[in-house]
Amino acid sequence: MGKPTGFMEYDRHETDLIQPSERIKNFDEFHRSLPVAERQKQAARCMSCGVPFCQAGVMISGMASGCPLHNLVPETNELVYQGNFKEAYRRLSKTHSFPEFTGRVCPALCEAACTCGHIAEAVTTKDNEKDIIEYAFEHGLVDEGEPKVRTGKKVAVIGSGPSGLACAQLLNRRGHSVTVFERSDRPGGLLRYGIPNMKLDKRVVDRRIDIMKKSGIEFKCNTNVGTDISAKELEDAFDRVILCCGASKPRDINAPGRDADGIMFAVPFLKEVSKKVMDLGYDYAKVKTSKDFSFGSLSGKRVVVIGGGDTGNDCVGTAIRLGAAGVTQIEMMPKAPEERTASNPWPEWPKVLKTDYGQEEAIYLFGKDPRIFSTTVTEFVKDDAGKLAAVKTVQLERKTGKDGRFSFEPVKGTEDELPADLVLIAAGFLGSEEYVTSAFDVKVNARGNVDTETEGYQTSKEKIFAAGDMHRGQSLVVWAIAEGRAAAAAVDVSLVGYTNI
């Protein structure tokens, strides 16, 4: 343990943020790193407790508690406290493939389960890990290198999101020849096209992809498996195929007027903006004034986001940066409490109100929280030309039936109408896209996810495996990485009979 009294001597100090008034002027990341001495103090707060829930990654009451990657949190925190960032990186890389991604976008399951957080405020483990990996990149420590010996086995990974990249990384280290297929123009999956640049700079993704290419992994972009290349071709050419295509089938809102011009799903919207940011060299002025967006300019426009999760929040922040005159976020669920309730004790995931960066920016810019809770859309209103003009809403009341199941019922007299020029649907996903699962003829479960052996990754076909959101359903980047790593081990066993992954 680094400093036994650290958690009593030092207060929690999160990474400094650029204020909303400044950060909404561009698409740059807005988190600043702490000075090394302050980062060491934050690491010194780790209690090195006897039962570190932070690294448990177990399910409690249906939600994860602790990191599913089982990072050696107390050990890395102690090394940071000692100032030994090189060894901290070596220790972190034993369990983690891409700390630079989770250090930016993870909701920090580790911190929610931190014992110190049960007593006072959690250790800044997420920020500590981000500084570890950035130190490693800055000092040339992140170097995969090509395997000295190849096994002669060939593996195809379909999809280059976090699960696909993690899977490819470990199988390549093992000596198998890995080719990653990606239907978009650049690799990265939702890391590149589902998360805005201000949250995860795409140059950070490029930095990792370049290292993976140098290690011998081949990337084939603009290749849509099931359309540009058949499943049979891949099965014939490769010893194993791993499906890491994500849960990319969006949940729709089937209300009257859904065919109005001015309604988009959230991910295509975010993808279009991210692509423009990269294509225009991260020049904010050019992005904001671009006339090439399919939805047109948002300057002076009113935007309504349906969905209160992370993707909805990303839409809020993106719309603000594109000059929207107003943003409203509709959330079906009731407003969460400010603090844990008695029915939600530590170390369960805290079901409390979270005000994220996009909502903070909306509060700054428009003077109020953009969220409307316990509300749903009943109709999309069109003008005479078929363009979106407004959305009709109604408040919802949660009711519990005799069978114990709850439902949301509309409350009479709470109908309302919101003016809208663009609606972004961020209501979640319904599983993997059918053309992929049909092409490979693999079984899917009732949720639309690829069905595999119990607690495994092999599908109904011997040579085909699945991992990530396509396997477990819509989830977090950290879970996708964990799935990719575990699937890599399963594939390795199926190829050579054992694994040291």
Q: Are residues 133 and 160 in the same domain?
A: no
Is pLDDT at 2 greater than 80 in this prediction?
no
The pLDDT, as a whole number, for residue 454 is 81
Report the C-alpha gap between 171 and 155 in whole angstroms: 8
Is residue 392 within 8 Å of 417, Cβ to Cβ? yes
Any domain includes 381 = yes
Asked whether residue 335 is assigned to any structural domain, the reply reads yes
One domain for residues 270 and 405? yes
Whether 325 is in a domain gets the answer yes
Domain of 11, CATH number, reads 1.10.1060.10
Write the pLDDT tens digit of every residue in 38-62: 999 999 999 988 889 999 999 998 8
pLDDT of residue 405: 86
Q: Is residue 204 part of a domain?
A: yes
Find the mean pLDDT for residues 81-90. Answer: 97
Same-domain check for residues 42 and 95: yes
Q: Domain boundary residue among 425, 456, 479?
A: 425
Question: For residue 421, what is the domain's CATH number?
Answer: 3.50.50.60
Please report, rounded to a whole number, the percentage of residues in the chain having pLDDT higher than 90: 91
Residues 10, 86: one domain? yes
Which structural domain, as residue segments, surrounds residue 180?
154-248+430-496
pLDDT of 9 reads 94
Answer whether residue 169 is part of any domain.
Answer: yes
Are 178 and 117 members of one domain? Answer: no
Give me the chain's average pLDDT, please: 95
Strand 375-382 to strand 371-372: parallel, antiparallel, or no bridges (unpaired)?
Answer: unpaired
Query: 145 in a domain, yes or no?
Result: no
Confidence category of residue 68, pLDDT binned at 50, 70, 90:
very high
Q: Is 83 helix (H, G, I), strand (E, B) or coil?
A: coil
Which of the listed residues 381, 402, 425 is the one where a domain comes to its end?
425
Q: Which of 379, 408, 425 is the last residue of a domain?
A: 425
Residue 148 belongs to a domain: no
Q: Which of 103-107, 145-149, 404-408, 455-459 has the lowest mean pLDDT?
A: 404-408
Within a domain: residue 254? no
pLDDT digits (tens, 9 = 90+) for 271-303: 999 999 999 999 999 999 898 999 999 999 999
Edge-first strand order for the sheet with 326-330 is 263-265, 422-425, 302-306, 326-330, 371-372
What SS3 class is residue 261? strand
Are 276 and 231 in a shared domain?
Answer: no
* Token output for 366: 């428009």
* 1: confidence class by pLDDT, cuts 50, 70, 90: low
Q: Do 51 and 65 contact (CB within 8 A), yes or no?
A: no
Let me know whether 405 and 336 are in one domain: yes
pTM of the predicted model as reported, rounded to 2 decimal places: 0.96
Domain shared by 449 and 377, yes or no:
no
- The amino acid present at 87, given as its one-letter code, is E
Q: How many domains does the chain have?
A: 3
Beta strands in 302-354 (DSSP E): 302-306, 326-330
Residues 421, 445 share a domain: no
Q: With 70 as the cut, is the pLDDT of residue 138 above it?
A: yes
On whether both 216 and 182 belong to a single domain, the answer is yes
What is the rounded CA–CA span in Å between residue 229 and residue 245? 15
- Say whether both 299 and 214 belong to one domain: no
Residue 407 and residue 281 share a domain: yes
- CA 286, CA 297: separation in Å to the nearest integer? 12
